[in-house]
Chains A and B, each alone.
Chain A
Amino acid sequence: MKAFAYIRPQSAEAAAAALADNDGALIKANGIDLLDRMKERVDEPNALVGLVDVEAFDSIEVEEDGGIRIGAGATLAQLAASQVVERFLPSLAYAAGHAASPQLRTRATVGGNLGQHTRCGYYRHKSFPCLKRGGDHCPVLKPGGVQDTAAIFGNGTCASASPSSLAPVFGSLDAVLTVRRGEATREVPFAEAWAEPKAGWASDLVFDREDLIESVHIPARAEPQRLGYEEVRQKAAFDWPLTACGVRLVAEGNTVKEARVWLGSVAPTPLRSEAAEKVLVGKSFTEARARAAGEAAVTGASPLPGNTYKVQLTKVVVRRALMQAWGRS
């Protein structure tokens, strides 16, 4: 790592001010991903604004109306152990509790999980060109490019796959991010938080260097929600998903009244599958219906020669996530 000054504000407001005041500074929660990138010299900030001293950044609260607000500094271990999350958001508890490894979950935060950069090996090695690092092309797409974990949707210019396993869950929950910039905060619907790949834009998020994710809000719902999350990884632990699916269903008897289906790790950003939702809504739920939703979810996929297998895996995780959700009443 190159030397950096470490700035330790005690509030989110002071952190935002420090980011604004220091051109080269990057925000740091627990830095699982950021320190990795700095060690590889993919990022070389001259200062870090650390959130280590910011209080109440890690709270998980049920609000008066029943909504749930999760501080961006809450760790995955906290989510997995939280009774509130376990009871009301079981899909989130599962995704958080199975991500990475115990030691990483102790440190990895919600904000950091959403903000982590792609695991694409070309992005993370400066010897290779990379569109996200400002290069003129994506080497994944060239003949001989390593494609096995790459995107199967939206991969025309950059084939990086969104790494976050929490993202498809938050998508399915219609989460809203509270983002601070300077003295103001704004509410960003989850679907609007993600940026299509473009040259020189390293992050998967639309937020820039001065934006600070403060919390994630899960809106209250009057009706019971059935939630599911499934993923497939190369390794049973200590790995990122190859493909993942978060779902939310509202039932009326045997009929699906409302459905939200989000895919992870199959596109440069988390991806909502309205095609899969359409198959479900207004119909009675059966395993065949769940299977059909899986088929619908991969319509329009553009797999690369090296990752056609991810299409089949994606059909399967969609079906499994739906079956899991339906089985929860």
Chain B
Amino acid sequence: MSKSDRRGVTRRALFKGAGLAAASGAVLKPLEALAKEEGASGPRVQGPGAVKATLEVNGAKQTLEVEPRTTLLQALRLPLDLTGAKPVCDRGQCGACTVLLDGEPVYSCTVLAVEAEGRKVTTCEGLGTPENLHAVQQAFVDHDGAQCGFCTPGMVVACAYAVAKHGKDLTEAQAREATAGNLCRCGTYPHVLKAAVAAAKEG
């Protein structure tokens, strides 16, 4: 049995189980509650299946179908095809999926896509364009800020935040602090810090 088949069976089993449990009034009360509360005065309930969510990503509003368990990182990569943010650890322990949420840096693997509704998401792709790079992106090119490149989009977003926060006077120590949550297995940190400081000076 292929991996995707196995997954399919598991999911079907889950929902079959859910139906039975709801019928017997046992474990899966939420699903019962869901049916009861939709359109009623209770709290809003989303899922467990796919729901529509409108996200504002890099300035464009897009309506997606996501399950509540879909992380912002997953939504960015698959439906939206924004593959800059990288799924590496998927546990908020590496920084490769860093994006800005309302202008603040977050790990997109730790945010549910449905919770990003009504908020502004900026990914590495939203900072500049290939023809008109963001100052940080250009500085990464000029200062060899990337080696294998896997941590780079997260590093660029973290540095862009530092530049926006501290402006022209960004120090290397501040850049270090801003990238403290971004790991690089190649050890290209000195170049990243140089790039960030140079980008800040460029304005």
Interface set, chain A 1-58, CB cutoff 8 A to B: 1-10, 14-15, 18, 21-25, 30-32, 35-36, 38-39, 46-48, 50, 52-53
Cα separation A165 to B182 with both chains bound (whole Å): 21
Q: What per-residue 1/0 map shows which CB atoms of B40-66 lie under 8 Å from chain A?
A: 001111111100000000000000000
Decide: A106 near B112, CB < 8 A? Known: A46-B28, A100-B181, A237-B181. no
Count of chain A to chain B residue pairs whose CB atoms are closer than 8 Å in the complex: 129
Q: Tell me if A107 counts as interface (CB < 8 A to partner B).
A: yes
Q: Tell me if A146 counts as interface (CB < 8 A to partner B).
A: no
Closest to B99 in A: A103
Chain A residues within an 8 Å CB radius of B31: 5, 46
Partner of B29, one of A23, A52, A53: A23
Partner of B91, one of A36, A53, A100: A36
B97 to chain A, nearest CB (A): 9
Q: Tell me if B105 counts as interface (CB < 8 A to partner A).
A: yes
Q: What per-residue 1/0 map shows which CB atoms of A144-181 lie under 8 Å from chain B?
A: 00000000000000000000000000000000000000
Partner of B95, one of A21, A24, A103: A103
Find the residue from A2, A36, A47, A103 having the highest chain B CB count within 10 A. A103
Q: Tell me if B167 counts as interface (CB < 8 A to partner A).
A: no
Question: Is chain B's binding surface mostly helix, strand, loop or mixed?
Answer: mixed
| Cβ–Cβ contact A106 & B45, under 8 A | no
Q: What per-residue 1/0 map shows which CB atoms of A81-123 lie under 8 Å from chain B?
A: 0000000000000000000111110110000000000000000
| Cβ–Cβ contact B33 & A22, under 8 A | yes
Q: Tell me if A77 counts as interface (CB < 8 A to partner B).
A: yes
Q: Tally B residues with Cβ within 8 Å of A.
A: 46
Chain A residues within an 8 Å CB radius of B112: 6, 31, 35, 50
Closest to B70 in A: A1
A146 to chain B, nearest CB (A): 18
Partner of A23, one of B27, B48, B161: B27
Decide: A106 near B105, CB < 8 A? Known: A5-B48, A7-B45. yes
Q: Tell me if B106 counts as interface (CB < 8 A to partner A).
A: yes
Q: 18 pairs across A/B with beta carbons < 8 Å?
A: A4-B48, A5-B30, A5-B31, A6-B48, A8-B44, A8-B46, A10-B43, A15-B43, A22-B33, A24-B28, A24-B29, A46-B48, A102-B181, A103-B95, A103-B106, A104-B181, A106-B101, A107-B106
Q: Tell me if B115 counts as interface (CB < 8 A to partner A).
A: yes
Chain A residues within an 8 Å CB radius of B180: 101-102, 236-238
| Cβ–Cβ contact B92 & A5, under 8 A | no
Cα separation A226 to B164 with both chains bound (whole Å): 35
Decide: A3 near B92, CB < 8 A? Known: A25-B30, A104-B107. no
Chain A residues within an 8 Å CB radius of B98: 103
Decide: A5 near B110, CB < 8 A? Known: A46-B28, A104-B181. no
Cα separation A100 to B46 with both chains bound (whole Å): 30
Partner of A1, one of B29, B69, B106, B158: B69
| Cβ–Cβ contact A24 & B106, under 8 A | no
Cα separation A223 to B104 with both chains bound (whole Å): 37
| Cβ–Cβ contact B48 & A3, under 8 A | yes
Decide: A102 near B158, CB < 8 A? Known: A5-B30, A46-B28. yes
Chain B residues within an 8 Å CB radius of A8: 43-46
Closest to B50 in A: A3
